[in-house]
Amino acid sequence: MELLQLKYFLTVAKLEHMTNAAQELHVSQPALSRTIHRLEEDLGVPLFERQGRQIRLNPFGKAFEAKAKAAMHLLEEGRREIEDLSGLKQGRIHLAMMNMEQMRKPLQIFLAEHSEVNFHMFQLSIEDFENLELKREVDFYLTSMPIYQEGFIEIPLVREKLYLVVPHGHKYANRKSIHLSEVSEEAFVGYKENSPLRLMNDRLCAHVGFRPKMVCETEDPASIIDLVRSGFGVAIIGGCRSEEELNLVKLPIVDPIGERIFRITWRENRYLSRAAIVFRDFIVNYFKDEEPVGNTLRKALMLR
């Protein structure tokens, strides 16, 4: 059995389509077909069910896929470890975030100090939270939504207050704070359905018995601010930016208490490169003077 066979197998298993897998692997379809057959011959059992043009993982294939993934993951960790030991490069850090709001400034500072570090960042959706096994390359999750799974470690970074933002001249623009129940009939601007931030905001509204009437949905925080400023509706946002920056009125949400905890989370058994450790320590240090949330390292527990 060879690494090449495993790599080809995992691609076919993922796409369940021989031709598309061959294209992704930059080999011809017959070459891929035979490599898969050779692997099946090695194992002594077929890994796929072939029904006409359809090719699907069978129970042997499903069992083998899990082991092959684990093996490839282990090898990747080994490669990273060797890179660290040999000092070949400073490293690449994979970040998964809900949005960039909290991280824009600290990332700018970190990159100014460590220009040799490469980042790969992607935005988390609700589906990603439900399928964390598919995101094994991630070094750190930087989120306000906790990860309710065994095997993860988190450090709470900052307690973030939530605000309702309204345009100047809005009927609530002169208020000092707001009860969410007061805006149950208002038009809302917010994140798209598959955004974790949207889910959290919806849950907050559900606490006082309403579902926000969304008139505009977007993935971009700046667009939300623009839309509120243009009078399309009100929105729930974090406290990163001042009223002057936003050119909006920020009303602290006092009922239910509007706040969430921004945290850094990582897999307990993941090998962290030197660059990743330096980055984590930098982030923890960056937020240490912010609103305290308790600074003890703790394992994420099954909270649900």
Partner DNA sequence: CAAGAGGCCAGTCCTAGGAT
Partner DNA sequence: ATCCTAGGACTGGCCTCTTG
Contact 143, 262 (CB under 8 A): yes
Using rule CB under 7 A, residue 29 touches DNA: yes
Q: What Cα–Cα distance (Å) separates residue 28 from each residue in 2, 8, 21, 42, 55? A: 19, 12, 10, 21, 17
Question: Which amino acid, residue 109?
Answer: I
Instruction: Considering only the stretches 13-21, 168-176, 239-247, 280-288, report the one whose residues sit in contact with DNA under the rule CB under 7 A.
Output: 13-21
CB of 43 to DNA, least distance (A): 14
* Closest to DNA by CB, 17 or 192: 17
Using rule CB under 7 A, residue 255 touches DNA: no
CB of 61 to DNA, least distance (A): 13
Task: Count the residues of the shown chain that bind DNA, applying the rule CB under 7 A.
Answer: 22
In angstroms, the CA 102 to CA 98 distance is 10
CB of 48 to DNA, least distance (A): 7
* Closest to DNA by CB, 75 or 111: 75
Binding track, positions 129-148, relative to DNA; x by CB under 7 A = --------------------
* Closest to DNA by CB, 49 or 291: 49
CB of 44 to DNA, least distance (A): 15
In angstroms, the CA 109 to CA 2 distance is 43
Using rule CB under 7 A, residue 31 touches DNA: yes
Of residues 55, 74, 78, the one with CA closest to residue 66: 74
- Kindly tell me which residue out of 10, 14, 19, 172 binds DNA, with binding defined by CB under 7 A: 19
CB of 64 to DNA, least distance (A): 17
Binding track, positions 34-73, relative to DNA; x by CB under 7 A = xxxxx-----------x-xx-x------------------
Which residues lie closer than 8 Å to 110 by C-beta, 6 or more apart? 117, 279, 282, 283
* Closest to DNA by CB, 19 or 58: 19
* Closest to DNA by CB, 41 or 255: 41
Q: Is 27 helix (H, G, I), strand (E, B) or coil?
A: coil
Question: Which amino acid, residue 131?
Answer: N
In angstroms, the CA 197 to CA 208 distance is 18
Strands (E), the chain: 48-51, 54-57, 92-97, 118-123, 140-143, 152-166, 178-179, 187-191, 213-218, 235-238, 249-255, 259-267, 298-299
Q: Is 128 helix (H, G, I), strand (E, B) or coil?
A: helix
Instruction: Considering only the stretches 27-35, 122-130, 249-257, 271-279, report the one whose residues sit in contact with DNA under the rule CB under 7 A.
Output: 27-35
- Kindly tell me which residue out of 3, 4, 82, 206 binds DNA, with binding defined by CB under 7 A: 4
CB of 62 to DNA, least distance (A): 18
3 state SS for 204-232:
HHHHCCCCCEEEEEECCHHHHHHHHHCCC
CB of 162 to DNA, least distance (A): 48
* Closest to DNA by CB, 33 or 195: 33
Preceding omega of 256 cis (within 30 degrees of 0): yes
CB of 9 to DNA, least distance (A): 12
Using rule CB under 7 A, residue 23 touches DNA: no
Please report, as ranges, the residues that interact with DNA according to CB under 7 A. Answer: 2, 4-5, 17-19, 26-31, 33-38, 50, 52-53, 55
